[in-house]
Amino acid sequence: NVFQFGTNNAVTCLKAAELVSRDVAGMDINMGCPKHFSISGGMGAALLDKPEVVDDIVRTLVRNVPNPVSCKIRIKPNIQETIDLIKLIENAGAHAVTIHGRYVPERPRQPAHWDLLKEIIDLKPVNIPIIVNGDVYKYEDISRIKEETGADGVMIARGACINPSVFQPEVVPIYDIMREYAATAINLNNNMKNTKYVLMYMCKTKALGRWMSQDPKGLKLTRSKNYETLVQAFDLEEYYPPFLTDTAQK
């Protein structure tokens, strides 16, 4: 697994990296998040215009942790600026770079620019692997974006959050995945707010949207504030009866 950092300086990033280095296979620096909370804190896409900070963060991690280091960026206003940044990242010692196929102001409703990703990769600007990201929602998209862009690899974000089985040819029904995830989260005593956030994200399909708003079990998920209610949404009571003790007494 790869641990991704949202960071704005090398010192705090290294402190965080040292905490997780033994538990992860690689480390990635997020330089592409366009959300306000990220940019306002000097993280994510804010780093695209701070090459000195990028260089410092990458070099610091490469020098001090044993894990491979990569960076995820977005397309900059023009191709040459994007290439210059990729070269800087390579020269700083990164082992790979991921390019998200949108400009910073663009959002998911706007198609990713696979054509621009191809244009960048065709120039062979660096010797490290270039991974691409953007609008990969099903298994077939993986081979398609690699073929159309010439990329070395593919990163999946929203597609995997909506249905993690996107990585295999046969799609698993999303409700089955949600139920398994809920069971695992409860068993590991995962933070309830985090668990609910992930499950709600998986519901970003029309069918599950109706399930959440109309089905009694879907409503339990929507309204759940604790695991006691959550287990009822996925028929997990028999596996996790301790969570129902208070309800049973009432």
Instruction: State residue 50's pLDDT score.
Output: 98
Which whole-number Å values give the CA distances from 73 to 195, 215, 222, in the listed order? 27, 40, 34
Rounded to two decimals, the pTM is 0.89
Instruction: State residue 206's pLDDT score.
Output: 63
Amino acid identity, residue 187? N
Look at residue 73 and give its three-state secondary structure. strand
Q: What is the pLDDT of residues 157-183, one digit of tens each?
A: 999 998 999 999 998 988 899 999 999
Percent of the chain whose predicted confidence (pLDDT) is above 90 = 75
- State yes or no: is 13 an active-site residue: no
Which among 13, 33, 71, 203 is annotated as catalytic? 33
Total residues found in the chain within this entry = 250
